[in-house]
Amino acid sequence: MIKALHEEYEQIRIIKESKRGRVLLLRHKQSKTPYIFRHYHGNCDVYRKLLGISCPNLPQIMEAAEKDGMAAVLEEYIQGDSLSHLLEGALFTPAEARAVIRQLCSALWVLHSMGAVHRDIKPENVILRGSTAVLIDFDAARIFKNENSSDTLILGTMGYAAPEQYGISQTDERADIYSIGVLLNIMLTGKHPSKELAGGKLGHVVQKCTRINPKKRYHNVLHLMEVL
């Protein structure tokens, strides 16, 4: 796959690089269409499940492969502004935040329906393409396995990750609901709910999303969408 990429695509820039791997912006030499290429230590089980899936709130996955413990993924480049960039300028109104969160729930419903958990929902991983919110970056995502008592690899972002992501128990869709609650609060207040809780009905939604005990959160994203 990587050899073919060098023949068909040219590198524009490095978007992100770490010990785990890197993310590149590529351009197809003939069509000039931009794409994202991910190369990282880990598996691409979730990316493979997304092959052929079309959802306006998820990027289109073109190819996904593994070799010698390294995953390689080619996906659609989402043009727009990240939520983290937009939050540098201003907070969101309740109506705006509700609209974004509902769209992210639509993306999560697709993931959760195939047994996947994103595990890294944060402003940097949400792109607004016009008025459409797109959830990206499934490098930390995993498939839920009934026989496991905890995650085999602890990943996530401090502040957004649910408590169970730190080895307390295996993560399921309720871990993403926790992160969605934190994200909603930050969109409204600019702060983590432990520092300042959003007011009104949305504050109550945040509280339920971020319960320490997963059983006390919304049971699934469809329930959360209905409430919103």
- Residues annotated as catalytic are 120
84, 72, 66: which is closest to 35 by C-alpha? 72
Q: What angle do CA 226, 185, 105 make, to 5 degrees?
A: 35
The single-letter DSSP state of residue 1 is -
User: 10-30 burial, b if ≥16 CB within 10 A, otherwise e?
Assistant: eeeeeeeeeeebebbebeeee
- Both tokens of 103, joined, read 């769209």
C-alpha dist (Å) from residue 92 to 8, 74, 89, 128, 189: 41, 32, 10, 13, 8
C-alpha dist (Å) from residue 24 to 31, 33, 38, 86, 164: 18, 14, 6, 22, 31
Q: Residue 34: CA atoms inside 13 Å, Cβ hemisphere, count?
A: 10
